[in-house]
Structure 1
Amino acid sequence: MPGRIVMLVDNGVNGDSRVQKQARSAADAGWEVVLLGRSPTGVAQSWQLGGAQVRLLPMPEPLFRKRHQYKRAWLRWPLGYPPNGIAEYRAQQVAAWRADLRFRGAQLELAARAGRRNRAAELWHRARLGVADLAGRWVWVRTKMHNRGMYARRYRNPWDRGYTFFWQKVLGDGAWRRLEPGLWDYELAYGPVVDELAPDLIHANDFRMLGVGARAKIRAQAAGRQVKLVWDAHEFLPGIRPWQPNIRWLPAMRAHEREYAPYADAVVTVSDALADLLRAEHRLAEQPAVVLNAPAVEHAPDGSDDSVPDLRQRCGLGLDVPLVVYSGSAAEQRGLRTMVDALPELPGVHTALVVNPDLQYVRKLVAHARKIGVADRVHVLPYVSHWQVVPFLAGADAGAIPIHHWPNHEIALITKFFEYAHARLPLVVSDVKTMAGTVRSTGQGEVFRARDVADYARAVRAVLADRERYRAAYDRPGLLTGWTWTAQAEILTGVYRRLLAGTGESAEITGPPPTLADTLDALPLPAAARR
């Protein structure tokens, strides 16, 4: 056995095809692999992924909550419930009361039908219904004020700017400890398990896991054991869209990343452009290795061909119905609204969204489709196993990537790009730099202006009118061969072998590679993407 690799990821593993492919490939290459993820249910889980073991860890988040969320906002929201769980209790209490009243009302209705009407009881019941309604409104008002006090603060007022500035000046890159102490929740959940597993190599996926991996490496070295650290940067953190308009979050995450990036013995990432940005941002001694998010159809279990679900069957559509598919994360910046808004201009065309159907954004999108009269042509489907994605998507007529202009969208060929390509789908992509340039050069699809509904509709009509011409682009010798996980796994396992053979050099801060400003200037990003 070459050694033990512990992989770290900040999610529940299912739905993250990149980490699943990494784990299986490393196990296939002979390493003992344990993939540690975060349990979405708060309960520890474990299963086998090929030759790799997946373990999901419960992660309490007391530090993720901000200090004000433990206090009652007396001045701003005086009627709000205190943050001790009473709001949820009162809401459930009123719901139970109403359920009991519905039951009592049904009893009175049955008695009336049987000729045993009790008008006094009915009047009393209606009075109780009125009181319950008033109680429900009162609980709603107090709960609304409670939620405003706990969660409505946006961290963008002068006090928060001053707080952020102060700790950046006092602690430098250590300021994340004050700005986002919730990062310690990851350490407390993952760190002891990593130490117990005593790996030879830690593969930390993305910026949150970088700190966990770096600290585990240093603890191991202090105990006399050598551990190598691979940092897999999926996105360029300065170009990420924060999950909320919080002026603390991004400075904290960047400081955390800068503090621990020097401890990485090797850096891998998803595109050449992102590799350039990372080297400039962290002044890395060597260029990060590029491991594309290519699909791994070879990871299908034996005899699994018949188990791949049928996309059209799930949508209830025949082969003659035009179908455009989107597969991946669902969020505003992913541009799914453009696909829905274009349907009135695309008579007869259906759209399949292979996403997490439980997201609030998806529910709002479906409600919007209903409002504009196209809900019958929007099909929301859950994810399938990563090895099923390509044959599943092949049932569509075209694949869409309508993402908005954002720095990280400009610099990568994202996972769904390769999945659509291996499904031999004509593509409809927005004019983000890297993907648009690739599609124009290969001829595998059409490019439209991001957020432009009419131009998206034009591109869809073009690919549906001549599908075979766009599919013919995939016949180019060597095109799809390089876009396979088999080729990418060789790059990744080559990094592992180099480090574990003792020939790797730490990606220490050195100088001077190109500056970040130079690298960004070299990328012809739209003005909106530079903000």
Structure 2
Amino acid sequence: MLVDNGVNGDSRVQKTARSAADAGWDVVLLGRSPGSVPQTWRLGRAEVRLLAMPDPLARRRHEFRRAWLRWPLAYPPSGIAAHRQQSVKAWQADLTVRAAKLALADPATPRLALRRRLLGVEQAAAKLTRTWVSGRYWMLTRARTRRRFHNPWDRAYTLFWQKLKGDGAWRRLEPGLWDYELAYGPVVDELAPDLIHANDFRMLGVAARAKIRAAQRGREIKVVWDAHEFLPGLKPWQDNARWLPAHRAHEREYAPYADAVMTVSDGLAELLQREHRLATPPDVVLNAPAADHGELAPDAPAPDLRALCGVGPDVPLLVYSGAAARQRGLDVMVDALPQLPGVHVALVVNKPAGPYVTGVLARAAKLGVADRVHALPYVAHWQVVPFLSAADAGVIPIHHWPNHEIALITKFFEYSHARLPLVVSDVKTMAGTVRSTGQGEVFRAEDVADYVRAVRAVLAAPERYRAAYDRPGLLESWTWEAQAEVLDAVYRRLLPGRPGPVPADAGQPTTGADQTRPAVGAGT
């Protein structure tokens, strides 16, 4: 299995690895180490390896050059700017101590007045030097940050390579994709797998190229492409016009090498089949939570959500769980609080101290509701459902983006298994599901007044919405155990005749099911 992140925080990948290993497959999950040191641990019977991945190709050529015309005094982008800035700070720190020593000196000290005057001159020189260094450093920063890939030259550059190379244009437009190949490719070749499960678009290329190399050596590798999102519908992760065309070209070049495709929803399956002219629709493996976490749960009971927020059992508490970003709509939850007296909001997010959440909290302070907004970190994925169940309602206020319209996202299922009434924005698939099941209320995305209406409705009659979960078979169909059967069926269709599930007491690690580090993350 291949994934382009550090595994922790990606509950789908973690559950896929564990489930495949429990079904009898010999699983090695390769991810990217967040630092320069490789890491390894186990997820049940699956082995996790995080690879060190240098990424020099991710830097654009202009980042190595000086912007002589626009910022003539900027430092060269060699690291000298930080060195000079720190040197001046050290100089001033030394002058401060020397000035203190002279202030404490005996007035009878020889040439004391002269030494003080000379020190004053040196202090003035240091201050002037710091101003000069800061100005040059500022120019360097502006040269780096003001360069954008939306100008006519870059659009022409992108179009030129698209016309010349077709889908191969990604090699010029996004050469950083080769950094993944150079880190993962040799390890995949050494492992000599029978099947590669490639998570999302970056890993598709790594898997396809490994398949091609193996075929040249007379070995067959089956490739399963697990598409988590619809690439054409993504908001680019970088502020440049090359990112999306490059990644779409990369995906188109290597999609034909996938022997099977799976994805997260029926809507996304239809889009992928149409986009890549697939002969059959992708198999759907929902981002559903596990109903049983086996040996994990007793060892690590879930934290108390209300205790972390400092609220009692009778305080109305709304929860949002997942990634924090503007398009996730957290602002509407804060903007509504002045109209919802006594209601508290818990934001269980990937970066509770990140810039976006910090801005949300600043907005809460400006509105006078800071004491009712609580930013909390993720918990381990097997703790998510019991952790969230302490809230009165689960909120999904996402904006209208193509990928938001087509899937039931992870938090939808987590809220459902926590038996929470839902308050969701009117994105197509999720709104349709909530209306059909009766498990919550739908509001117009980014509409504070309509959000307030929906929250008041679910808080006024929560049991009415919770009753939807009593429908026979509803929650059972939304479990990872049901999805794992689809996953294993895909593998066995590609590689028939393989062994069945491993006995429960066979092949377990001797020091616990999950060694070195826990599997963390509420998912997105």
TM-score normalised to the size of structure 1?
0.88
Partner of 2:492 in structure 1? 497
Q: Distance in 1 between matches of 2:141 and 2:268?
A: 39
SS at match of 2:359: helix
1:389 maps onto 2:384 in alignment? yes
1:468 to 459, 463, 467: 463
1:455 maps onto 2:432 in alignment? no
Give a deviation string over 1:22-45, Cα, whole Å, max 9, x none. Answer: 000001101111111111122111
1:332 maps onto 2:329 in alignment? no
Q: 1:398 to 1:123 in 2, by over 3 A?
A: farther
Q: Partner amino acid for 2:24?
A: G
Contact 1:297 1:390 in 2 (8 A): no
Q: Distance in 2 between matches of 1:463 and 1:158?
A: 51
Q: Partner amino acid for 1:495?
A: V
Structure-to-structure mapping, 1:157-172, within 5 angstroms: 157-172=151-166
Contact 1:297 1:387 in 2 (8 A): no
Deviation at 1:225, TM superposition (A): 1.2
Q: Distance in 1 between matches of 2:2 and 2:301?
A: 30
Partner of 2:207 in structure 1? 213
Equivalent pairs counted in the alignment come to: 495
Higher relative contact order, structure no. (Cα contacts within 8 Å, ≥ 6 residues apart): 2
Partner of 1:377 in structure 2? 372
Give a deviation string over 1:144-166, Cα, whole Å, max 9, x none. Answer: 22122223222111111111111
SS at match of 2:74: coil
Q: Distance in 2 between matches of 1:54 and 1:407?
A: 32
Q: Partner amino acid for 2:425?
A: S
SS at match of 1:199: coil
1:140 to 134, 150, 157: 134
Q: 1:45 to 1:125 in 2, by over 3 A?
A: farther
1:266 maps onto 2:267 in alignment? no
Q: Distance in 1 between matches of 2:108 and 2:231?
A: 71
Q: CA RMSD in A?
A: 2.4
Q: Distance in 2 between matches of 1:237 and 1:310?
A: 37
Deviation at 1:122, TM superposition (A): 8.0
Q: 1:85 to 1:428 in 2, by over 3 A?
A: same
Contact 1:279 1:286 in 2 (8 A): yes
Partner of 1:155 in structure 2? 149
Q: 1:242 to 1:116 in 2, by over 3 A?
A: farther
Q: Distance in 2 between matches of 1:116 and 1:396?
A: 73
Contact 1:300 1:387 in 2 (8 A): no
2:482 to 462, 468, 487: 487
Q: Partner amino acid for 2:278?
A: L
Deviation at 1:396, TM superposition (A): 1.1
Partner of 1:225 in structure 2? 219
Structure-to-structure mapping, 1:123-522, within 5 angstroms: 132-302=126-296, 304=298, 307-355=301-349, 356-501=351-496
Of residues 127-136 and 215-224 in structure 1, the stretch that sits farther from structure 2 once superposed is 127-136
Q: Partner amino acid for 1:312?
A: R
Q: 1:437 to 1:303 in 2, by over 3 A?
A: closer
Q: Partner amino acid for 1:224?
A: G
Deviation at 1:75, TM superposition (A): 0.6
Q: Partner amino acid for 2:357?
A: V
Give a deviation string over 1:357-396, Cα, whole Å, max 9, x none. Answer: 2432222222332233222222111111111111111111
SS at match of 2:292: helix
Contact 1:340 1:369 in 2 (8 A): yes
Q: 1:465 to 1:98 in 2, by over 3 A?
A: farther
Q: Partner amino acid for 1:271?
A: S
Partner of 1:31 in structure 2? 25
Deviation at 1:11, TM superposition (A): 0.6
Deviation at 1:143, TM superposition (A): 2.2
Q: Distance in 2 between matches of 1:325 and 1:350?
A: 9
Q: Distance in 2 between matches of 1:411 and 1:48?
A: 33
Deviation at 1:77, TM superposition (A): 1.2
SS at match of 1:304: helix
Of residues 100-109 and 323-332 in structure 1, the stretch that sits farther from structure 2 once superposed is 100-109
Deviation at 1:259, TM superposition (A): 0.1
Deviation at 1:242, TM superposition (A): 0.5
Q: 1:488 to 1:78 in 2, by over 3 A?
A: same
1:80 maps onto 2:84 in alignment? no
Partner of 2:521 in structure 1? none
Unpaired segments of 5 or more residues in structure 2? 499-524
Q: Distance in 2 between matches of 1:105 and 1:465?
A: 68
Of residues 381-390 and 96-105 in structure 1, the stretch that sits farther from structure 2 once superposed is 96-105
Give a deviation string over 1:217-253, Cα, whole Å, max 9, x none. Answer: 1111111111100000011111100123311111100
Unpaired segments of 5 or more residues in structure 1? 1-6, 504-531
Q: Distance in 1 between matches of 2:292 and 2:456?
A: 33
Q: 1:450 to 1:135 in 2, by over 3 A?
A: farther
Q: 1:454 to 1:93 in 2, by over 3 A?
A: farther
Contact 1:69 1:151 in 2 (8 A): no
Partner of 1:522 in structure 2? none
TM-score normalised to the size of structure 2?
0.89
Deviation at 1:307, TM superposition (A): 2.6
Identical-residue share of aligned pairs (%):
72
Contact 1:342 1:454 in 2 (8 A): yes
Q: Distance in 1 between matches of 2:478 and 2:124?
A: 65
Of residues 271-280 and 80-89 in structure 1, the stretch that sits farther from structure 2 once superposed is 80-89
Q: Distance in 2 between matches of 1:140 and 1:12?
A: 36
Q: Distance in 2 between matches of 1:318 and 1:75?
A: 62
Contact 2:291 2:481 in 1 (8 A): no
SS at match of 1:298: coil
Q: Partner amino acid for 2:56?
A: P
Q: Distance in 1 between matches of 2:88 and 2:370?
A: 34
Partner of 2:503 in structure 1? none
Q: Distance in 2 between matches of 1:323 and 1:108?
A: 60
Q: Distance in 1 between matches of 2:297 and 2:267?
A: 39
Q: Partner amino acid for 2:421?
A: P
Of residues 330-339 and 458-467 in structure 1, the stretch that sits farther from structure 2 once superposed is 458-467
Deviation at 1:497, TM superposition (A): 0.7
SS at match of 1:244: coil
Of residues 435-444 and 457-466 in structure 1, the stretch that sits farther from structure 2 once superposed is 457-466
Give a deviation string over 1:404-455, Cα, whole Å, max 9, x none. Answer: 1000000000000000100111111111001011111111111111111222
Give a deviation string over 1:339-368, Cα, whole Å, max 9, x none. Answer: 122222222211111112243222222233
Deviation at 1:135, TM superposition (A): 4.1
Q: 1:464 to 1:379 in 2, by over 3 A?
A: same
Deviation at 1:301, TM superposition (A): 3.0
Q: Partner amino acid for 2:389?
A: A
